[in-house]
Structure 1
Amino acid sequence: MLGAGAQQAHDAAQVLPLRSDEDVVRLRKQVRDSMVAMGFGLIEQTKIITAASELARNTLRYGGGGEAHVGRVRDGARQGLELRFVDAGPGIEDIAQALTDGYTSGGGLGLGLGGAKRLADTFHIDTAPGMGTTVTIAKWKLF
């Protein structure tokens, strides 16, 4: 997210369920279509689609499913695509540890959260044990 005092405008977000691997495929397509429509290049598309895929799979695996919100955002002369992943799962006890490369609580490679953070321009996580998790990322472009 942006720092204090930043003015950001949001268009209505499309909400996609994340209940199965097929939903992850649909999300990837929606993100790609949105990025193409906004004029993002192939490298930026690949980065944000990869991050979206990682976060969607985390939503399924660790959060028990949830939803993804995909929408355009504006901040002054720049526009972007914002993705928000919401679940009502067990939450994350130690965010710093979860962001550490190699850490996994489920037998994966341990690159999901930290990798998504590096691939996005902005990254914000809101979580607490027993309260679920919301991860918001964005990719920005000057227009």
Structure 2
Amino acid sequence: MRPDERTGEEHDVHPVRVEEDLVAARHAVRAGAVAAGFSIVDQTKIVTAASELVRNAYIHGGGGTLTVGVVHDATGRVGLRLRVRDEGPGIADVEQAMTDGFSTGAGLGHGLGGTRRLVGDFHLESAPGRGTTVTVVRWKP
């Protein structure tokens, strides 16, 4: 990981352009979780969340980027932050997209809601024609 000149936080940026990038993204998130000292259960949860987010960016957003970074809160707690951005069509109804059972594809519709349950912090920004950015943090217990 390399330090961000603005914040001092460490992060890695990974493209999400072709199907092989989905596997590379999961490996990068697992490596970040291991480096941050996450347990195997917490590694699995953050990798599962990442998998869903990068898959959405690839399938629905036409590709994008994944940024992985270790963060610390004011108390010194350690977390792994993922930011997935795409420049796709955006999400017309974010509330509906977060509802379990809602899907615009062939999935079960547990993606974004399930991802939100796997992480501590979840923030989604999207607008029609402007793409989508999802930022999540899984905190180490």
Q: Calculate the TM-score normalised by the size of structure 1.
A: 0.89
Correspondence for 1:5: none
Matched, 1:86 2:75: no
- Pick 1 or 2: higher relative contact order, CA cutoff 8 A, min separation 6: 1
Separation of aligned partners in 1, 2:31 and 2:12: 12
Q: List structure 1 segments (4+ residues) > 4 angstroms apart after TM superposition.
A: none
Separation of aligned partners in 2, 1:11 and 1:22: 27
Structure 1 gap ranges (5+): 1-8
Aligned to 1:26, the other structure's residue is in SS state helix
Percent identity among equivalent residues?
53
Q: CA deviation at 1:93?
A: 0.8
Q: Which amino acid aligns with 2:27?
A: K
Correspondence for 2:4: none
1:3-36 deviation line (CA, Å, top 9, x unaligned): xxxxxx6613211000122111111111111111
Separation of aligned partners in 2, 1:105 and 1:75: 36
Q: Which amino acid aligns with 1:24?
A: L
Q: Which of 50, 53, 56 is matched with 2:51 structurally?
A: 53
Q: Which of 61, 64, 71 is matched with 2:62 structurally?
A: 64
Correspondence for 1:17: 15
Separation of aligned partners in 1, 2:36 and 2:12: 15
Aligned to 2:140, the other structure's residue is in SS state strand
Q: CA deviation at 1:80?
A: 0.7
Structure 2 gap ranges (5+): 1-6
Q: Calculate the TM-score normalised by the size of structure 2.
A: 0.91
